[in-house]
Each structure stands twice: as structure tokens, then as C-alpha cells.
Amino acid sequence: MSTDKVFIVGCARSGSTLLRLILNRSPRICITPETHFLRRFSCVGRRRQIPKIGDLREDRSLAKLTDLMYQPDSGWSSGYGNWLRKRIDKQTLYERLAQSDRSERGIFLVLLQLYAERKKGDLAGSVALGEKTPTHLYYVPTLISWFPGAKIIHTFRDPRGLFVSRLVKAKSGQWGLKAKFPALPGWLVDPFLLPLEVQLTARSWKDAVDLHEKYSRLYPNQYLLQRFEDLITNPEESVRNICRFLETDYHPDMTREVVVVGSSYHEEKRKPGGFERQAIDRWKTVIHPSAKAWLTFWTRRELVQFGYAP
């Protein structure tokens, strides 16, 4: 496999977790769950925690970063953060970070390597490392500058399906206003959830469209758009195409016995069921008419462009 780094990005709720699990069935690929590293830690991110910590060439600053990664209340409650705290002891992480070049790129690479070593064992040194954080869609130029040979897969979905899935999460308090202000009563917060999620979904999806056009132009051989709907309806064809893009072999196990992943309609986070084709159109039966009307109005041109019926 000539591609040595693979990054999955895209809007939240667009099928990125499903794609990560599919690709990790390959013996040549190991993609970590969400690290949010660029957005939350690096100098290009919104939170920029590493610049606040200080010069990582100093052991004291590196120790502060290690401590931060092990604090449950640090805001790093991502899939990778939870995995790290359960599987890797703090001293081991510190020693590995100290052995790196201590750059942000080097720190990020250590996180990918640690995950691959636990998941792939002796094969870790020969697999393509990767990571899946949807919001890293905004930081693709940094990923390419850090890893010039990397491949980027952008998961993409009908914005109305995104909205319905996002709204379920917002109502349950897993993100959004209820997560940010848990002390506020539901009767006060609930009326704002639908209009807020309509606005946020439309804005993030339009951003995804604009960035798709930009990355297609800048990185024509390193960037691939993968529609969620195509992955569900034609899984083997879609995954074979992705494998060609990554220059690796397709394995039939990649599309066999796939679990339903992170669906907003199931209590279980993972369960048997294969590719759930109902997930493509289920939004049509539950979406609020006003939300459908607004999203269709704001994104009509792009819906047609990407093959979605207005």
C-alpha cells in the first residue's frame, strides 16, 4: 500500500464512523476514532491549547500536555480521549511524546501510532495510519502539509438527513444547547433547538460544499468525496472505489456483517444489522415541514448539484 496516511473528514452525522469501521477491517489500514487534535490542541485550531501550554521542548510543558490529555473534565471526551485514558497509562504516553520531535505534527503522529500498536500488534509498522474527526474538514491543508502523501476522504450526506440526526442528538442533550447549559429547564431550551439546528446544519453543509470544491481543485489526487447514500446502497462498489483511491486491496470482509453504527434511532450504539438502507430516507417521515422547507430553500442549488432531489 503506497498511501501511508488516511484521514476521514466531513459534517457530523454523515457516516464517518461507519466508514472508519469498514476501512479498519483491512489488514493494511488503522484509523483512530476522533481525536479533535487540530481543532482543540494545535496552533491552527479554535481552542489552541498547545500554544497556551508553552514550548513543548521543555519537559515541564510536555508534562502539562500529558496531564491535560488525562483530565476527564478537560473537554477532550472524544472517542480517542476516552480510549487513551482506558488503554494507555500516562507515563507511557509521556515517554512516547518525549521521544518524538515534540512538534504538533510529532505529537499527533504518536497518537496514531499508539492506537495502531494496540489494534494491529506486530503489523502496526506496515499499516497506513489514519484518523477520523469530522471537523478536521476545516484543517485539510494542515493535514496535507504535515503528511504530503496523505489521502483525504470526505463523507457527505443530504443535509435534511443530517438535520434530523443532529436534532435527535440535540434533544437528548448529547450536544448543542442542552449539553452546554444542562441546568436550564427543557421547556426553556426545546423551542430553540429546531431553528438553531436548521441554521447550523445549513451553514456546516454549505461549508462542506465550498471546501469540497476547494480541495478537489487543490488536491485532485489526494481527495475523494464519498456520499453516505452511495455507501449504503452500493457498499461493495463504493468500498472498492475507495480502496483504488487508497491504492490498497479490497477485502470482502470489509463489507460483510457490518454493524449499524451510531444511529440516532437506536438505543444501542452498535448492533448487528448490516447496511441499513432505511437510514437514507427515514428523515422524510420525521422531519418537521418547516425545517424541510427552510433547508431545501437554502440549499436547493447544491442539492441538485450533488444528486439530491429538492
User: What confidence tens digit (pLDDT) does each residue in 170-228 have?
Assistant: 888 888 888 888 888 887 888 889 999 999 999 999 999 999 999 999 999 999 999 99
36: left (phi over 0), alpha (psi -120 to 50) or beta: left
CA angle (260, 263, 264) in 5-degree steps: 160
Alpha carbon distance 169, 274 (integer Å): 22
For the chain, what is the total number of helices (H) and then of strands (E)? 16, 7
14 within 8 A of 134, measured Cβ to Cβ: yes
Instruction: Spell out the residues 6+ positions from residue 203 whose beta carbon is closer than 8 angstroms to its own.
Output: none
* Structure confidence at residue 267 as a pLDDT band (50, 70, 90): very low
β-pairing verdict for 260-261 and 270-271: antiparallel
Report the alpha-carbon angle 254-259-264, nearest 5.
Answer: 135
Strand, coil or helix: what is 155? Answer: strand
pLDDT at 259 over 70: no
